Amino acid sequence: MHIAWLGKKSPFCGNVTYSREVTNALLDRGYEVSFLHFAQEAFDPDNFFPYLRAGQFGSTVRTALQKSKIAPIVAEASTGPVACEVSLPCLYKSTIYTIPTLKSSKVLSDSLRKLKPDLVHASLTLSPLDFMLPEICEELNLPLVATFHPPFDGKLRNLTSGTQQLMYQLYAPFLANYDRTIVFSQLQRDVLMRLGVPESRLAVIPNGVDVQKYSPGPSQLKAELGAKRIFVYQGRVALEKNVEALLKAWKRAEMGADSRLVIVGNGPMAASLMQFYGEDYGITWLGFIGDEQRRIEILRGADVFILPSLVEGLSLSLLEAMACGLACLATDAGADGEVLEAGAGVVLRTQGVTGQLRTLLPVFEQQPEFTTMLGQKARQRVLERYTLSSNISQVEKLYTEVLQQHRQVPLKVSSSQARFMNPF
């Protein structure tokens, strides 16, 4: 099966990780995958060739490309499961949203027409192109699956306030036109259903972690930092992540000299917070770390993972920490509370995070046996519910169902095609 995947390659965020992990796993299972992503590059619609990079082409895609304008690249490619990579032009992209150029929809449509995938899967990038995808795929008679990432505050599920609720309200009418939309939790599904998305168009498939890669193991982190107990936050340093609440709690808790709080990540609030919460308080800022193996080593060397977010979807960073056997504390934001429920970790309220952590941090510092027990339960929870292998198997099943339904529906005629067939 050939999947055209529309997602993000940069800047680094959960969507990037999701796209990388899922597409790599699909490739491992023998799928052909074409990766379409936004890049701030000029695009010449009459010269499609530069936007496809040499890769490994499956026989089906190779035959299609040999008949197209982009045939020269086929000579550079070796046999294998990967189709190609396509850059979609954009004016701006961030970890949160993307602004495509006016030509991006044409680039996307032309690319899909040439590649002839069996199915399109869009890991939605919060761009205007998300709203145009159903019409583009309908015109090309391609089944369309989406993954909807926006976070939400688990305590605002009545949709009465909050920017994230506005995002759900904006997207719901368009998600109803996708063949299927993947969400990470029952909570997300319920929110979208209340906004009018049919239940039959929604599929709950939680994020998954490679539990062979993310697992307990040796680490030199404590030796590097000269610490006996290490607490870690890993993620963006932004307002919605509520990192300052954690820093205030750490400072007020007056943790012992042998304990360290490690902040892994960067963001708009990092520079200002570093001025007030630094080494004098046992806080180490490591910044953004792109090397995945180094991030795993940090998790393996830590004892406790803390996620104080105000809004979340289903945090991959939390799942990765749990898989590495860390005791985890996280707010009941998004689906994170579901992940830690029934003893797999400590669930915090999104209100008053500083006060709660001020009380809990010394307990985790002084009770290593309790920390170890929670870490074991956390990994067991991931093994039971959140493995990447299980995630991909569910995605495969969804693809099969969508394709079968698509083949049973009579061929749709788009409005533009109808005007061409009957101009009068």
pLDDT in tens, 273-292: 999 999 999 999 999 998 99
| % of residues, the chain, pLDDT over 90 | 66
Give the C-alpha separation, 8 to 312, whole Å: 19
Secondary structure class of 410 (helix, strand, coil):
coil
Give the C-alpha separation, 361 to 305, whole Å: 11
Tokens of 123: 């890991």
Q: Which of 52-66, 78-92, 156-170 is the most confident on average?
A: 78-92
Looking up tokens 């005007």, which residue turns up?
419
| Same-domain pairing of 378 and 392 | no
245 pLDDT exceeds 80? yes
Confidence of residue 82 (pLDDT cuts 50, 70, 90): low
Confidence of residue 81 (pLDDT cuts 50, 70, 90): low
| Same-domain pairing of 320 and 341 | yes
| Same-domain pairing of 264 and 392 | no
In one-letter notation, the amino acid at residue 135 is: E
**Domain limits for position 373:** 221-385
Residue 348 lies in a domain: yes
| Same-domain pairing of 230 and 376 | yes
- In sequence order, the β-bridge partners of residue 260 are 230
| Same-domain pairing of 262 and 392 | no
Per residue in 121-166, pLDDT tens? 999 988 899 999 999 999 999 999 999 988 766 554 444 445 667 8
Q: Domain holding 33: CATH number?
A: 3.40.50
Percent of the chain as helix, strand, coil, to the nearest 5: 45, 20, 35
Q: Domain holding 314: CATH number?
A: 3.40.50.2000
- Spell out the alpha helix ranges (H) of 116-242: 129-139, 163-175, 186-194, 221-225
Strand 98-100 to 82-93 pairing: antiparallel
Q: Are 118 and 144 in contact (CB under 8 A)?
A: no
| Same-domain pairing of 137 and 270 | no
Residue 250 lies in a domain: yes
Q: Which residue has the higher pLDDT, 400 or 74?
A: 400
| % of residues, the chain, pLDDT over 70 | 83
User: Which residues lie below 8 Å from residue 384, measured CB to CB, with a gap of 6+?
Assistant: none
102 pLDDT exceeds 60? yes
Secondary structure class of 307 (helix, strand, coil):
strand
Q: Which residue has the higher pLDDT, 167 or 315?
A: 315
- CA angle centred on 336, ends 147 and 146, rounded to 5°: 5
238 pLDDT exceeds 80? yes
Secondary structure class of 156 (helix, strand, coil):
coil
Q: Where are the beta strands (DSSP E) in 58-103?
A: 78-79, 82-93, 98-100
Residue 203 lies in a domain: no
Tally of domains within the chain? 2
| Same-domain pairing of 255 and 344 | yes
Confidence of residue 411 (pLDDT cuts 50, 70, 90): low
215 pLDDT exceeds 80? yes
Burial status of residue 222 (CB atoms within 10 A of its CB: 0-12, 13-18, 19 or more): middle
| Same-domain pairing of 413 and 357 | no
Q: Which of 77-86, 98-107, 307-316, 395-404 is the most confident on average?
A: 395-404
Tokens of 81: 């499961």
Per residue in 337-347, pLDDT tens? 889 999 999 99
The count of residues in the chain is 424
Give the C-alpha separation, 276 to 281, whole Å: 9
Q: Are 182 and 145 in contact (CB under 8 A)?
A: yes
| Same-domain pairing of 230 and 297 | yes
Give the C-alpha separation, 372 to 11, whole Å: 34
| Same-domain pairing of 398 and 300 | no
Average pLDDT of the chain to the nearest whole number: 85
Q: Are 143 and 406 in contact (CB under 8 A)?
A: yes
| Same-domain pairing of 342 and 405 | no
61 pLDDT exceeds 90? no
Nearest Cα residue to 167 out of 178, 158, 176, 159: 159
Across residues 221-244, what is the average pLDDT?
95
Secondary structure class of 25 (helix, strand, coil):
helix
Secondary structure class of 296 (helix, strand, coil):
helix
The pLDDT assigned to 155 comes to 55
Tokens of 138: 């309908």
| Same-domain pairing of 225 and 359 | yes
